[in-house]
Copies of this chain bind each other. A is one copy, B any other.
Amino acid sequence: MANQSVRIPNASRGRRAEEPDQVGEQARRGTGRTARGRQTRQHLVESARTVFERQGFLHARIADICKEAEVSHGSFYTYFTSKEAIFTEVVDSVEIDLLRVDTPVEDLEPIERIRAANRHYLQSFQENADILRVIEQVSTFDDEVLRIRVAREVEFAQIIERRTREYQEEGLVYPDIDPSLAAHALGGMVAGFAEQMFFENQQSFDFEHAVDQLTLLWVNAVGLSRP
């Protein structure tokens, strides 16, 4: 017998049964039962992030990722089925905590809370600008990623909406403000401003000045600045 190989098409889909092929996992592969396996997988995800940040999604070749991870070509497919698969993993692994403020703000005045949240958002955005930019890119042609991105925006809006509604009930926010729409608009304001500032290298504003102004506009807009 021998070693060489040829390829044949798996035409016979019909006469012969197919492998069950646990679909649903599709994206995730090679488990990493071993410590070594988990390490390699981790390596790949980290390298992928580096490559994506450097080259963008479109210009990142799987070969580039493997090279960066110092792993053979085949190993990639032990763990991931495609570039999309590993990208999703990268997105998940990145703790892009644009929303939640870590420091306790419970005791702060509404204005200071908003300022803290805005500062946190801008800061996180700036720190993760490279990968966020790629996520935005991919979301323009990959529904899965778009869904993730939109989910984040929606969550952001919901937090704002909830808080705004509370303030409104306390009489701190104008009654004619629609909390839901305002949440999307003000969330869009901060996000849109961040994109202009960090993606498009526009007129570089001073960081703290930007935080102050965004906060000022925000509180003015909903009425929180009134005496």
Contacts and interface: CB of A to CB of B under 8 A. Distances in A.
Interface of A: 1-19, 21, 23, 26-27, 54-59, 61, 64, 81-85, 88, 133, 136-137, 140-144, 146, 150, 153-154, 174, 176-178, 180-182, 184-189, 191-193, 195-197, 200, 202-203, 205, 209-210, 213-214, 216-218, 220-223
A88 B11 CA distance: 13
Contacts of A9: 1-5, 82-84, 142
User: When A and B form their complex, which 5 residue pairs have the shortest distance between CB atoms, in order from nearest?
Assistant: A188-B192, A192-B192, A189-B189, A1-B84, A137-B140
A21 B6 contact: no
Given A9-B82, A153-B196, A1 B14 contact: no
A143 B15 contact: yes
Given A10-B6, A193-B185, A1 B137 contact: no
Contact of A2 (B18, B180, B222): B18
Given A55-B13, A56-B12, A85-B1, A195 B188 contact: yes
Contacts of A210: 181
A142 to B, nearest CB: 4
A146 B3 contact: no
A18 to B, nearest CB: 7
Given A17-B54, A54-B17, A217 B186 contact: yes
Nearest to A200: B150
B10 A7 contact: no
A153 B200 contact: yes
B203 A143 contact: no
